[in-house]
Chains A and B, each alone.
Chain A
Amino acid sequence: MSIDIQHVSKSFGSFAALRDVSFQVRAGELVALLGPSGCGKTTLLRIVAGLASADRGTVLFDGEDASGRKAGERRVGFVFQHYALFRHMTVFENVAFGLRVRPAATRPANAVITAKVTELLKLVQLDYLGDRYPTELSGGQRQRVALARALAVEPRVLLLDEPFGALDAKVRQELRRWLRRLHEEIHLTSVFVTHDQEEALELADRVVIMNEGQVEQDGTPEDVFERPASAFVMNFLGSVNIFHGRVEHGRALLGPLSVDYPEHRAPDSRPAAGYARPHELEIARTDEGGGLWAALTTTNPAGAIVRLELKAEDGALLQVEVARDRFETLAPRTGERLYVRPRRLRVFVTEQP
């Protein structure tokens, strides 16, 4: 089922949690809602689920306005950040809950419920834990029970709120891959909220990046990473080196660097900043042009990529990542002056007039 979010706004008192948010989720897609905490992503997810209502705007399910329908009638599966499993019920009963509370007319027979729950527990690889209570499970297991419980009602959409937020790094990795595989298997339209850019980029077909209640960018992981629409997106999706300066006459003058900036041909100057990721900076011993001199302060050679920190002449610190063999052929010493050249520089005007 597709979800169409149209001009949704929501305020809590004087705080505007969502400001005119619009985007679409196509049927069968796995979409990540990515943003810093407090950007409104969870609020939006709750509005889609029917757990909260929008002040303005509508949510369409398959083109049909869902505003009038209560949470229980929307056929959404919701996985809560802290799982919200029913503490006094066994794992089996937790998963069966959605079927057992159906009105007598549509409630499946007991045997059908048992078969269905067993099948779901197998799907999440927990069929051997059916008679345990949630408190007896690990975080990752609880998460999968929550998922099975959400899937039991055969939802048309799966919504996950920070699904891996409360888990440790290793379990998170495993569950992430597992969820990706599951999605490929059942192809259920899914939206998950996260503040972890790595998670969003790895898992999602499409990433919607939010900031301060608005959508900053909506695109494929490659789009948002390679072609960030704003300085915020650039900043949020990983570490960056920032060169402050200005744009005028179609050029960006950023301290020691200068590049073409055809978007602003007018002679008046505007404050701007150039952004380059650590792997987009190259180091050399000779002046190859288009770069700046900086002194090597620290090296962190753990792993296939070597992380360097350099201090430019104006005092700014630069983060550089180079491949290990490049580092070994160059073999720079700490304190040595190196020439740093950005292979790529994205320029954003920092203040809109």
Chain B
Amino acid sequence: MAGHAGPLRTARATTARGLTEPAPVRWLLTAVALGFLGLFLVVPLAAVFVEAFGKGLNAYLSAVSEPDAYAALKLTLIAAGIAVPLNMLFGLCAAWAIGKFDFRGKNLLTTLIDLPFAVSPVISGMVFVLMFGRQGVFGPWLSAHDIKIIFAVPGIVLATLFVSFPFVAREIIPVMEASGSQEEEAARVLGASGFQTFFRVTLPNIKWGLLYGVILCNARAMGEFGAVSVVSGHIRGLTNTLPLHVEILYNEYNFQGAFAVASLLAFLALITLLLKVIVERRSIQA
């Protein structure tokens, strides 16, 4: 789920008649595409579930309901639960600024939004350690006030925030730029307040893009490994998220447990994808 940038909602292409390739070519292309998809996406996903249920349903349920796994699930949901709303807010503000106004440094801001896509997640994690770690910039001040960020929940939330922040902004900037500001101006002339203009005119126009961005943001927030791994400290039951917990179990040769927990993540991913498909359908109709 990492590193997917930008909108992939291409317009439903209408293939012009007379431009289709000969049948064998079409078959070959389809076979190659499907074969690739099967080998690299379907088979691994199936493998996760096969391994997870390999020792029976009971073993699966006990692995999933084990306290550490439960704590990891909870932490993952907390991190995503904080990061996603905040990034939604940030994304809205940034997209509003970029889409509706001209100002100095606009290009710089647009580029900076993509920064988390550009840097490796491990480095994002390191940055937070360098800032808030014991030897970091704010380290002495933080330890003097007995505030723990690195190797604690706040660090995980920060890292998650960082890596998942471009998604919402990226999704709605094109929508906002395309719609321009005439409808907002019309609303203003008709006497609507800024608040009313936003909720009655702007938001309905971007709602599908916004929802799509939130879904992608959520997927990234729940699945993030690298950055979180650096700041987490891997304390079982305290600072382990689901992806980290999977790694720990795997390193302890508890393959069945690892895959069982991984299947939870896979379920979350599938639900996310399902939501995404629904949103896409609705947004095309709308």
A→B interface (CB under 8 Å): 49-51, 70-73, 76-78, 80, 82, 84-88, 97-98, 101-102, 149-150, 152-153
> Which chain A residue shows the least CB distance to B182?
A84
Known pairs A97-B200, A101-B196, A101-B200; A84 contacts B190 (CB<8 A): no
B205 touching A78, Cβ below 8 Å? no
Residue of A72, A82, A85, A86 near B189 (CB, 8 A) is A72
Does B192 have its Cβ within 8 Å of any Cβ on chain A?
A: yes
Question: Among B185, B189, B205, which residue has the most Cβ atoms of chain A within 10 A?
Answer: B189
Q: Is B205 touching A50 in the complex (CB atoms < 8 A)?
A: no
Q: Which residues of A contact B191 (CB under 8 A)?
A: 72-73, 98, 101-102, 153
List of B residues within 8 angstroms of A76 by Cβ? 189
- Which residues of chain B have a CB within 8 Å of any CB of chain A? 182-183, 185-193, 196, 200-201, 204-205, 286
A-B contact count (CB 8 A): 63
Contact B189 A78 (CB under 8 A): yes
B interface, by DSSP: helix, strand, loop or mixed?
helix
Query: Which 7 pairs of residues, A with B, have the shortest CB-CB distance?
Result: A98-B190, A84-B182, A72-B191, A101-B192, A84-B186, A88-B204, A78-B189
- Known contacts: A101-B196, A101-B200. The answer to whether A88 contacts B205 by CB under 8 A is yes
B183 nearest in chain A by CB position: A84
Measured CB to CB, the nearest residue on chain B to A149 is B190
| Distance of A85 Cα from B201 Cα, bound (Å) | 10
Across the two chains, which residue of chain A brings its CB closest to B190? Answer: A98
Given known A80-B182, A82-B182, A88-B205, contact A97–B187 (CB-CB < 8 A): yes
Complex: A87 Cα to B178 Cα, angstroms? 13
CB contact between A101 and one of B183, B185, B193 (< 8 Å): that residue: B193
- Shortest Cβ distance from A87 into B: residue: B205
Contact between B190 and A97 (Cβ–Cβ < 8 Å)?
Answer: yes
Given contacts A97-B192, A101-B193, A101-B196, contact A86 B182 (CB under 8 A): no
Query: Given the complex, which residues of A lie within 8 Å of B187, measured CB to CB?
Result: 86, 97, 101
Q: Bound complex: CA of A101 vs CA of B197, how far in Å? A: 9
**Chain B residue with Cβ nearest A51:** B185
Is the Cβ of A71 less than 8 Å from the Cβ of B183? no
B182 / chain A contacts, CB cutoff of 8 Å:
80, 82, 84
Give A152 to B189 CA distance when docked, in angstroms: 12
What are 20 sample pairs from A and B whose C-beta atoms fall under 8 A apart? A70-B188, A71-B188, A72-B188, A72-B193, A73-B191, A76-B189, A77-B189, A78-B185, A78-B189, A80-B185, A80-B186, A85-B183, A88-B204, A88-B286, A97-B192, A97-B200, A98-B191, A101-B192, A149-B186, A153-B190
- List 7 additional contacts besides A80-B186, A85-B183; criterion CB under 8 Å: A49-B189, A78-B189, A80-B185, A86-B183, A86-B186, A97-B200, A150-B190
CB-CB < 8 A to B205: which residues of A?
87-88
- Note all chain B residues with C-beta closer than 8 A to A97: 187, 190, 192, 200
Tell me how far the C-beta of A50 lies from the nearest C-beta in chain B, rounded to whole angstroms.
7
